[in-house]
A and B are shown apart, each in its own frame.
Chain A
């Protein structure tokens, strides 16, 4: 009869595990009778508590109405064998079921193996060397990637028809459409926040109208390009790294290489060009939204009419202020694109590798943006812009 067991039968009607000690027929031998059902979900009896200080020359384990058993019985026997080995007793399991003996022999094989050798702790010098080597490798990787991109750019200028313009346009569209709503919101709110902070101070001197100057200058010179770039680093830079990393894992990049295609020209440059061209446009958009944010606060809280606010902004914020911000944003775009594409293309061939590449792309991108911004601040200061 073919009856398949039901789930409840699996656990119902189990007898609890029993262990009986029997001095045995021959002198100096102790018979351990194991019986009942052995389940890992129950408490596993420990050998020591059962056997304690029992004195016997040899130990024989025999089944005594043994029901179902699992690893718990095996564990009990392994402990027993170890105990016998240590106290130089014989350990006899020959009357146990064959499959149980087979399992026990498997475990014995593991015991016979040498314990896995842990690598010796590295000295500080070796650690430093490894670190230096890693950094040198990273520096070489970055430099050669930038070099390849430059060469690729030159080849495009020489032969523009070989460039994949369609890919570039698709990426530009993607940059624009996916980040527009969030850039709008964040820039507007940055304008609002700046206006609030400025208003608290400036109102004390009755100079509330200068809120327009402060918001206008900080947004156009710093906050607009910066916030747009940070958002793009988190969105587009990460997307680049994830896309390219995934292509690497799936051997798609290998397939391009064995076709004799330059992966930099084919994959990196369209993305790089797209984000570098889109960044200043997004920054300009962020500037407008930031100024609108300031205007909104002034009009609603400070009783400065929008027209007055606008005229004040126009008087203070010059062409050079706007262009200095936009010039920076071109470089921010380049940084984000480079970080995203490089990290993606050098990604390790695993799912974790893609994750790491993405994180690294965002972190590197934002780091480069902030460092770049500081450098530009210095340069503009020296040039008096």
Chain B
């Protein structure tokens, strides 16, 4: 499987981006290969989310280029941009399910907009997509009627509606308990293995990083760019950069709790 990684589906070249006058990332370049599970990691405020917003076209970079399958996303005209948007799905941190629509309508909208499927076909695809994320039979529920984990899965179903080649995840396990979070990881793996989707995941959940990542790139706030790149195990074991080492070996400097504090101040 690793052999297929050679072709890159996304290429980021000398990207500089930020908000108003403030540069968050400077001169960042990297590539994402086909069928790869790439994690973008780093501490809070390092620019992970900013990078993601650039990649999915919600933020216009100051400089540089992003190409999807060799076509520039930045220089694209409206029609080309629409074509590129069709190639990826996004799972937002807050799920971003449209709250005024049922799950079926949520999944149906991308299909209505980008395909000419008949209503009957659409209905069947909705059923299949919901089954893929273990939500079969929830077509008529509204997002507010779902639990946190179910919302995440529903949002994944919507992101997968158009069978995109790439899926972006913004903190997929934020706000989930450890078991649901593990379940989500399993689902992500399953989607990658069954559909061969390339995945770019912004996360700082260590367990997910070690479970899923083929490769990680680590951003840093002060460096305003990538400070490390490689497989998580390799980086954790061999990186000499304290920022990388500390991030990936988080538990080391806190002593294990053995007993209650000796001078318990309160009864």
Please list the residues of chain A having a beta carbon within 8 angstroms of any beta carbon in chain B. 5, 9-10, 68-70, 97-99, 246-247, 250-252, 254-261
Contacts and interface: CB of A to CB of B under 8 A. Distances in A.
B86 interface: yes
A254 B90 CA distance: 10
Nearest to B114: A260
Nearest to A5: B267
Nearest to B85: A260
A247 B94 CA distance: 11
Given A9-B267, A69-B265, A258 B99 contact: no
B265 to A, nearest CB: 6
Nearest to A259: B110
Contacts of A10: 266-267
Contacts of A98: 262-263
A250 B96 CA distance: 6
Interface string B72-89: 000000000110011010
A259 B267 contact: no
Contacts of B158: 255
Instruction: Return the 9 tightest CB-CB contacts between A and B, nearest first.
Output: A251-B96, A260-B85, A5-B267, A255-B96, A251-B92, A260-B82, A97-B263, A258-B56, A258-B90
B254 interface: no
Contacts of B93: 251
Given A250-B99, A255-B98, A260-B82, 9 more contacts: A68-B266, A68-B267, A97-B263, A99-B265, A251-B94, A255-B90, A256-B98, A260-B85, A260-B114
Nearest to B90: A258
Nearest to B98: A252
Contacts, number: 64
B255 interface: no
Interface string B153-174: 0000010000000000000000
A246 B158 CA distance: 20
Contact of A258 (B58, B109, B261): B58
Contacts of B98: 247, 252, 255-256
Contacts of A97: 263
A68 B58 contact: no
A41 to B, nearest CB: 14
Given A250-B96, A251-B92, A257 B110 contact: no
B265 A257 contact: no
Given A252-B98, A257-B57, A68 B92 contact: no
A70 B267 CA distance: 13
13 contacts: A98-B263, A246-B99, A250-B99, A251-B93, A252-B99, A255-B97, A255-B98, A257-B58, A258-B57, A258-B88, A259-B109, A260-B86, A260-B113
B263 A259 contact: no
B267 A261 contact: no
A330 to B, nearest CB: 27
B19 to A, nearest CB: 12
Interface in B169-204: none
Most chain B CB atoms below 10 A, which of A10, A98, A256, A260: A260
A289 to B, nearest CB: 32
A70 B97 CA distance: 47
Contacts of A257: 57-58
B249 to A, nearest CB: 25
A261 B57 CA distance: 13
A312 to B, nearest CB: 49
Most chain A CB atoms below 10 A, which of B58, B96, B99, B109: B96
A255 B267 contact: no
A128 B109 CA distance: 46
B58 A252 contact: no
Contacts of A256: 98
Nearest to A255: B96
A165 B81 CA distance: 26
Contacts of A246: 99
A260 B81 contact: yes
A250 B101 CA distance: 14
A252 B99 CA distance: 8
A69 B110 CA distance: 62
Nearest to B83: A260
Contact of B96 (A5, A254, A260): A254
Contacts of B99: 246-247, 250, 252
A258 B113 CA distance: 12
A242 B94 CA distance: 18
A253 to B, nearest CB: 8
A97 B107 CA distance: 61
A184 to B, nearest CB: 28
Nearest to A243: B100
A70 B266 CA distance: 9
A2 to B, nearest CB: 12
A9 B109 CA distance: 61
Contacts of B56: 258
B92 A254 contact: yes
A258 B82 CA distance: 9
Nearest to B57: A258
A21 to B, nearest CB: 25
Contacts of B261: 99
Contacts of B109: 259, 261
B88 to A, nearest CB: 8
B92 A259 contact: no
A68 B265 CA distance: 6
B53 to A, nearest CB: 8
Contacts of B88: 258
